[in-house]
Structure formats: C-alpha cells, structure tokens
Amino acid sequence: MIFNIITLMFAPFRYYRNGLTTGILRTLVALIMVIYLWEDTTVDAQETITNTTTDIVNGDNSNSSGCNSGETTDVIPISDNATASDYVLFPWFVQLLGCCSLFLLTRFNCPIPYAAIMFILGAMMGIFSTNLSLPSHLHDSITEWINFDSELLLMVFLPGLLFKEAVEVPINLFQVASVQIWILSFPMVLVGTGLVGAAGYYVLPYQTEDPDIFGIWAWITLGAILASTDPIAVSTVLKTAGASPRLVMHITGESLMNDGSSYVFFTIASSLWYDKLNLPRPDDLEITTIAGYIGYFFRMSLGGTTIGVVFGFALLVLLRELDRRLERQYDILQVVLGLTAAYLCFYVCDATILHMSGIMAVVACGLVVNRFGKGMINDEELMHSYLSLAEFLLNTLLFALGGLIWAAISFSKLTTPRVRLRDCGWLLLFYVLMLVIRFFQVGLFYPILSRIGLKSNWKEGVFLAYGGLHGSVGVALGLNLVQYVIRETNGDDLRKREAASILLFFGGGGTLLTLLINGTSAGFILKKLGLSKPSVPAEHVKHIFEGAAKDYVYAQIKNLFQEPRFQNVSFDLLKEIVPFVTKEPPRISGDIEGVHYNPSTSIHQFNQRIAGEGKQYMSLLKAARRASDQLLAFAKSDLLLIEMRQIFLELLREAYKLSHEFFELDQKQHNGFLYDVLTQSVDLAINDVRYDHKPIDDWQHTEIFFRRNRVNREPSSSSMRMSSEVSSNSASQRDANLRRRKRIPNKRESGLSLGSSLRSLVSFNNNTAKKDVCVEKAKISVKRLRLDVLRAIAFKRGHEMAESKLELYVNRFDDEEDASMQAHHQITTSAFEQVLLESRDQVRFADEMLEDEVSDKDLEIILSYYCAKIVIRRLSKFTECKAEEGLIGKQEARNYLRTMMEKANQTESRTVERLAELRLESRSKSQHLSSLESIHYDVEDIKTSTDCNIDPHISDTIGANNTKSNSNSTPLNALFDTPLVVASVSSMPQIEEGNDEIEEEKDRCGKTLNDENNQKKKDDGAEAPNDDCSYASA
C-alpha cells in the first residue's frame, strides 16, 4: 500500500527525462523507507510506552554520559567532552555540503529544490549522529546544535531573511495587492489552522488512543506550525519559467506576512494545549478569556508593526546622513546598519517586556525602507549582494538544521518516544489531507481574491494552492514545542514528550514532503497550467543569439583594427580561433606614424569617465592656483611639476583599471601578475616622485619584476633630459640596439672542427630526449618573451590614455572668458609638456625592448593571439549579459561560455607553440650556417698546413691537423666519407638545404689537394698508395 502511494506521488517525475533526477529520487525514497523500517512493526504503541517506563524504573535506560534520560532537559544528551568551540564545526560543514549540492543541482539541471536537499542532508546527519558512531568532534557539534534554543534560533535566522525579502519586494505591486496579501496571511491562515486541527483530531488515530494528551488544541497547534509558507523552493522555478509578476507577488507577499500570523496563532494554541497537559504557561501569556486572546493578537500584530515602522524611519534618517556617494566606506555602513536595525527591531519586540511580534516588526521596517529609502542607498548592488549572501548562508543552515532536529528527535535511539512505521504511513495520509485543505482555503477566498487588488484567475489560484510550500519556520516552532515540554516535565511524563515528538514529526514531515514533491514538480505544474513563458524553439534562440554575437564580434574587431598596434594582426588566425567571425573589417591605412586616426574606444571612454571620482582634476586645479599665487617663487614651479607628475601617475593607474575592464588586462591570467606589476610600478613611481623628487620612471620599476639580471638603464641619461635632444639620443640608442641584434659571426669564433660540427648535428637529430629538452627550454623562453611583449603593449596603452586625459584636464583651463583660468593654463602648460616628455621617454624604453628582443614575426604572432583573446573575453561577457536578459537560456549560455573558455585557453598554448617552433627553426638554421662556416674555415686551415708542414714521405696520412709530430692523424678522405653517408640518411631539412654548398666546397678542395699531391709524387718519384678510400677516388 505504501509503495503504491509513493508511486502515485512521484508520478509527475516521469515527465523529466533527466536520468540523474530519477536516480536521486529513487535513492531518496529508498533512504526514507530504510529509516521507517528499522523498528519492529509488531510492537504496539502502548506496549512500547510500558516497556520503556519499566526500563527507566529499573535503571536500564541510562545514557553513555551517565545521566538518566528522564532527568535531563536536553533533547539529545550532550557528551561531557563537548566544548563551546564545537559549535563552529557544524554550520561550516553544512555550508560545504550546501556549496557542493548547489553545484551539482545546477550543473546537471536537476529540478529538486535546493532547500529539500539540505533538509534531507540534515536529516541524515541527525540519524547517523544519534544512532551510529561519527567522528567525536562532528558528533559533539551536531548534538549541541540539536539542543540549540528554539527562541534563539528564530532570533538568529528570521530577521536577516525577512528584512531581505521586505527590502527587495516590488513595493508598488505590494501596495496594490496589500488587501489580497492581508487575506492570504491572516483570515486564510486562521481557516487553515482550524481545518488542519480538525483533520488531525478526527482522521488520525492518536486522539482515540489518548484523548487527554492528543486533544483538539494539540492538533490546532500543529495547524499553526504548518500555517507558514516559504517561497524559496518555487522562486527559482517562477523566475526561470517567466511567471507573471502578479502570481509572484501573491506567493511572495503571502510568505512574507504569514510567518508573523502563524507565530501568533502558535503561541495562543500552544498555551491552551499546555493547560490541557497541566503544564505552566509561558510567562508572557497569562490570559484566560476570549477577549484577552483577541487583545493579545492585536497587540502582537499591530504593536509589532508600529515598532517596525518607528525603526524603519529611524533607519531612514541614518541612511540619509550616510548618503555620500563619493565615500565607499559609507556604502558598507549603510548595509551594516540595515541588518543591525532588523536584528535590534526583532530583539526589542520579542525579547523584552513589550512582548510583541518581532516578525511583524522586521517586515514593517523593511517595507518602510523599501518605500521611502531607495534613493538614499548609495550602492544598491552592494546591498543586494550582501543580503543575498546572508540569505544563502542563513537558509542553508536553517533548512539543514530543521532536518537535523526533525530526524534526531523522531528517529534517535537516545530519545525514549520514537516514531514507528505506522506513524510514517499516517504522515503520507496527512500530507494528502494538507493538500486538500490548502486547495479548499484558496477556493474559499478565491471569489474575493479574483476581484480586488491585482486580481487573479483560476490557473493562478491552482498554482497558489499547490505551491504553498512549508519552510523551516514550522520546524523551529515544533522544536520550541518539544523543548518546552521536555523542560517542564520529568522522566515519568513520557506520554507528554511523545505527543510533542509526534507533533514535531508531522510538522517536519509535512515540510519535507511539500519541498520534495511539490517543489520538484512545480515547474511541470506551471507549464501544464500555461502560466510559464511560451518556450521559443531552440533553433530560433540559437539563430537570434548567434546573429547578435556575430554583429558584436564584428564591431569589436573593427574597433581593434582601427588601432595601430593591431594593424598587422592576422585575420585568418582570428577567424580560426574566435567564434562567430564572418568577414574582415577595414583596417587603418597609410603611414601609421603620420596618419590621423580616431581614438580607440578605450581612450574615448577613459576621456568621458570621471577618473578617480574627480580627485586628480581637483588636485591639478589646486596646484595651479597655488603656483599662480606664488608665481615668482621658483620652488613653487618645481612643486607644480611634482604634483603634475603625481596626477599623471594616478591617471595612469585609472587607465590600467579601465584596460582591465576592457579585458586588455586579465586578472585571471597568471593570477593577475601583469596587472599587479603595472599598478605596483605606479605606486613605486609615485613614491619616487613624491619623496625623492625624481622624474617619472615607472618602466624601470616594471623591470625589477621581470629581469633581475638585466642591465639597469640609468634614468639620468634620458629621463632627466626632457628636451628635443632626448628624442635624437633615444633614436640613436635604438639604432645601436638594432645593430647589436644583427650579430655577424666571427670566422674564428667556433673552435669546432669539421667532423665534430657535423657529428653534433647528427647527434641532435637522433637524440629525442635532447630535442624534447630543447623544446621545453624554447617554450619557457617564449613564455617570458610573450609576457614581456604584453607588458610593453599594456604599458604603452596606459601611458597613451593617461596622456590624453591629462591633456584634456590642462585644456580645460584654456578659457578665453576667464582671466584666472588663462593664467592657470599658461602655468600648467609648461609642466604638462615636461611630464609629457617624461612619459614618452618611458614609452621609448618599451619600444626599445620590443625592437631589441622581439622579431617582427614574433610580434605579429603575439599580437594576433592577444587580439583574439581580447575579443573572446568581451564575447564571454556579452554572452553572460544576454543570458541575464533572457535572450538565451542558462544551460545554452554555459555551453557557449565553456567553448569560449577553451578557445581562450588555446590562444596562450598556441602562441607558445608557434613561437617555440619559430625559435627552434631559427636555431637550427643558425647551427646549419655555423657548420658551413666551420667547414669553410677548417678547409682553409688544411690548405695552409698542407703548404707549410706536410711531410711528403707520409702523404697517405694527410689530415686536417697533420704535422710531422702527429702520429695518430686521420686521413682526410675519412672526414668527408662520414658526412656523405649522413647527408643521405638525415631527415633534417636544414642539412638538405646546404648539401649543394658542401659538395661544391669538397670538390674545390679535393681538386686543389689532388693536384698538389701528384706534383709532390713526381718530385719524389714515389707511387701513390693504392687505397680504395683515397681522396682521388672519392
């Protein structure tokens, strides 16, 4: 029977084609059944109570800590070894589980609500910790949190969650639908509480078994526990499906307000149940008449609302005082004060002599700030981010703690009253009754709801009834009930403790089933009712997005091609790497140094924005005024130059920040090394300018991070000279550097002989391990080279932007109608020209580095891949924005972003590979040319030694270094036989290119030496030796 019911409940899941979802659901069902089936079903409830009571009297039911379970006031006995520090472990262990769970749910697009997963994980921890052996520290932390005070639980979690919802609710829609929300939150909650109480009293068998304990007020208390709703499980579904704002407002507004009303009804119902149990009432509820209860209800609700309004307007005063948008720390103060006001408001109402509803007070405070304080919040994005972070942390811990408490009390062997299998069966039936009651509630008030406020329709009413999920607030109220009963009873009142545990079991079980079943199938129901946004075919979405992406990529490449630094970028390479590239945009033409081109997008936007919040311009204005007041003092002009340098460097820092925003500098690449180096070089240069009165020398400060063994350039030779002479000197120095690059090999530089040179080539070709080492060394070298080039490019770009911005500032003083501004302009112009020369001198250092160390081909490759990576980064940001706008689905956007990330990673690896190939090819050619030179010069040595030192009596042993004293000489023909064979089998293309030259050299040398030998033989009258390997035969 139970399996049939479960099959019917999970019937909507068959429409999900995700195999992972089906597997998870089946696993959860199996776990629930294992939990339910561990106790013997033949044991009757009354027999269990009797046997347990007997065990307690005999002293057989003592726990491991030596305390009798009937005498302790803890829900679960806490170990004597537990310490206060153990409280820290459980919440952050839960956050770790929450992060992993959320990643898996979003990664595999699983429809199970995140809150349901955390509730189940918490329940599993509660079962394992109280029934099995776990690590001592984790076990101690879990047991301490199980006994966490329920009132403190509400005070810690609810203010932050409620304040966030109240501040971010659409206030205009809330005002229009306020009457509807009031009906959903008060009259409908009262009706639902009564109907749930009646269903539990008349349908469930507990009242007939023990009418004194399970009276009507016990079940009305359970109805109040289940009266609150939580939209966290369906909010994501509603947002993804594009549900109407009216439906979202009804669900959100109901959950925002009914927490307070359900808490008030719970307090009244539980106090009446305590009377039936002969337990003392709470201190703040000594009421005996109906009129007293009505007055108590209005005091809690209206009084809490009044206190919340007062706190809200007080918070508005503070927000107005902190409304200074140029001070970043004030933005943080506004966020902190908002949360502080929420928690203080809850405390004043709930924990003091006022005895009012803290929940209603926090909601009222948030709504006041939402309605009147939006314009006073400096950074709404910061406020939203901070509150979203708090919401995630609190909800994760709250739902896990709810499942932990529910399972630990219901299924622990350390608690005397334990849930049995029949209770699980009744829970499933009770869940069905809850759905029926919920639909009856909405149907009862539907004629009113559909005619007032935002109105409604029957489809929205159906989903409003089905999507009314329960949250952990009900579990917290159930824990409050259990803790109070345990605290006010002793070991002989097991029936009362069992009743409280049963009510908690039904409250937590109802929460779990609504989250797991209703939350998982909410998307399916919403789609079947036609309340979701009509789905656009995937092909249409793909076509629309890719068309927009192509236009965006074309515009970005067009803007980049208008810059001189990218004029030689290979479009074929861009088309190969960058997605959505179709056609080549026009480039700038003509002489790059003389052509007038429009400023790039980054420079234009940098000139348009207020850099550094306007501080640099104000500093320049103040410096100009001081200099004009002290015009005759020469020292003051020097001070103006110093301040002008500092202003330029501050603008340079802002330029680097903008380059990062435009993805020309990426903090994710190399852990942000290049961006940090450039900004830190600005800091060091500012220090030199401010304290040592040195000129701008930020390039030298970047050098210390890259080449520690590089010869330091003396700033005095160039930086100190800011006249026309600097340009010529720098140009001559650059020409000298270029000449040094073209290295002319010395004829006597290589000490290698002909044989050793050729044998080294053969060894390099055949030794694979040595070749791999060379490749790795080449890759390391080109990685450094690439980083140097990117540094120089970003350095030059930043200086260009800072020069343009500083020139814009100086030109503001050129006001013909204001004589004082004209005076400022004349003073600042000379200082500006000096700073401009210093900046351009630093740029020349970057140019010299590029000219000295980078070939044209290497520079073209690096810039091509760099341009491709910039476009890919911008395209990724474009895709994220379109996903947020809803143009493309989240899953499709993730696929596109994954592809772009792979492309971006390929750009760096391909750059290194291409540069390494060029480096190895260049090295092989240089070795080949060196070998040819060695052949030429060794043959010259042979000719010289033959003319002077050859002994005619041993002419058969003529060698390259043969003299009369050389007894181990090598025949000359042997030196040529070996390379001939090698040349025939070698696979190196570099050797094949020089074979003709080698043969020509050998023929020439052989002919000369043969003639000389024949002449010597005639003179001596000796015969030439008959050797098959003689040089003549060769």
Q: Average pLDDT, stretch 865-876?
A: 89
pLDDT band at 284 (very low <50, low <70, confident <90, very high): low
Q: What is the pLDDT of residue 936?
A: 55
pLDDT band at 1027 (very low <50, low <70, confident <90, very high): very low
10 pLDDT above the threshold of 50: no
pLDDT band at 350 (very low <50, low <70, confident <90, very high): confident
* Phi and psi, residue 772, nearest 5°: -60, -40
Q: Is 870 exposed, middle or buried (0-12, 13-18, 19+ CB in 10 A)?
A: buried
In a domain, 277, yes or no: yes
Distance CA 25, CA 19 (A): 10
Q: What is the pLDDT of residues 675-732, one digit of tens each?
A: 889 999 999 999 999 888 899 999 989 988 876 444 343 443 333 333 333 333 444 4
Q: What is the pLDDT of residues 810-822, one digit of tens each?
A: 776 555 455 555 5
**Length, in residues, of the chain:** 1034
CB 510 within 8 A of CB 204: no
- C-alpha distances (whole Å) from 142 to each of 127, 149, 413, 553, 629 are 11, 14, 15, 54, 72
Residues 6+ apart with CB under 8 A from 371: 171, 175
Q: What is the DSSP string of 767-785?
A: -HHHHHHHHHHHHHHHHHH
- Same domain? 827 vs 868: no
Distance CA 961, CA 35 (A): 95
pLDDT band at 389 (very low <50, low <70, confident <90, very high): very high
- Same domain? 844 vs 860: no
Q: Give me 715's structure tokens.
A: 């700033």
pLDDT band at 927 (very low <50, low <70, confident <90, very high): low
Q: Give me 970's structure tokens.
A: 């090598």
- Same domain? 357 vs 479: yes
Mutual angle of helices 245-276 and 290-321, in 10-degree steps:
130
In a domain, 126, yes or no: no
- C-alpha distances (whole Å) from 341 to each of 302, 336, 364 are 19, 9, 12
312 pLDDT above the threshold of 90: yes
Q: What is the pLDDT of residue 306?
A: 93
End-to-end Cα, the chain, rounded Å: 102
Q: Average pLDDT, stretch 444-468?
A: 92
* Phi and psi, residue 68, nearest 5°: -75, 135
Q: What is the pLDDT of residues 813-848, one digit of tens each?
A: 555 455 555 555 566 777 888 889 999 999 999 999
In a domain, 416, yes or no: no
Q: Average pLDDT, stretch 485-507?
A: 85
- Same domain? 450 vs 584: no
- C-alpha distances (whole Å) from 14 to each of 33, 432, 891 are 20, 20, 21
Q: Average pLDDT, stretch 471-481?
A: 82
Domain count along the chain = 4
224 pLDDT above the threshold of 90: yes
Q: What is the pLDDT of residue 218?
A: 93
In a domain, 431, yes or no: yes
Tell me which DSSP letter residue 1022 carries: P
CB 222 within 8 A of CB 506: yes
* Phi and psi, residue 62, nearest 5°: -90, 145
Q: What is the pLDDT of residues 36-46, one digit of tens each?
A: 444 333 334 33
End residue of a domain, out of 889, 910, 926: 926
Q: What is the pLDDT of residue 34?
A: 46
pLDDT band at 419 (very low <50, low <70, confident <90, very high): confident
The residues that bridge with 68 in the sheet, in sequence order, are: 62
End residue of a domain, out of 819, 853, 887: 853
- Same domain? 181 vs 289: yes
411 pLDDT above the threshold of 70: yes
> Which has more confidence, 962 or 789?
789
End residue of a domain, out of 813, 835, 853: 853
Q: Average pLDDT, stretch 915-921?
A: 79
988 pLDDT above the threshold of 50: no
Q: What is the pLDDT of residue 986?
A: 36
CB 229 within 8 A of CB 469: yes
Q: What is the pLDDT of residue 633?
A: 43
Instruction: Report residue 850 CA to chain centroid gap.
Output: 35
- Same domain? 188 vs 301: yes
- C-alpha distances (whole Å) from 543 to each of 50, 303, 889, 895 are 73, 58, 13, 15
- Same domain? 906 vs 976: no
pLDDT band at 341 (very low <50, low <70, confident <90, very high): very high
Q: Which spans in 812-855 are helix H?
A: 819-853
Residue 560 sits in a domain whose CATH number is 1.10.132
Q: Average pLDDT, stretch 995-1018?
A: 51
> Which has more confidence, 549 or 953?
549
In a domain, 24, yes or no: no
Distance CA 368, CA 274 (A): 37
Residue 376 sits in a domain whose CATH number is 1.20.1530
Q: What is the pLDDT of residue 326?
A: 63
- Same domain? 584 vs 634: no
Residue 839 structural domain: 612-711+725-739+800-853
- Same domain? 918 vs 1009: no
Nearest to 789 by CA among 853, 843, 839, 842: 853
- Same domain? 446 vs 301: yes
953 pLDDT above the threshold of 50: no
pLDDT band at 439 (very low <50, low <70, confident <90, very high): very high
- 275-289, 473-487, 501-515, 884-898: range with highest mean pLDDT: 501-515
CB 458 within 8 A of CB 435: no
In a domain, 282, yes or no: yes
Q: What is the pLDDT of residue 177?
A: 93
- Same domain? 255 vs 376: yes
Mean pLDDT across the chain, nearest whole number? 74
- Same domain? 316 vs 452: yes
Distance CA 106, CA 184 (A): 32
Q: What is the pLDDT of residues 164-192, one digit of tens each?
A: 999 999 999 999 999 999 999 999 999 99
105 pLDDT above the threshold of 80: yes
Nearest to 395 by CA among 114, 125, 107: 114
In a domain, 292, yes or no: yes
* Total-model pTM: 0.68
- C-alpha distances (whole Å) from 556 to each of 119, 121, 126, 194 are 48, 48, 56, 65
In a domain, 213, yes or no: yes
Distance CA 338, CA 212 (A): 48
601 pLDDT above the threshold of 70: no
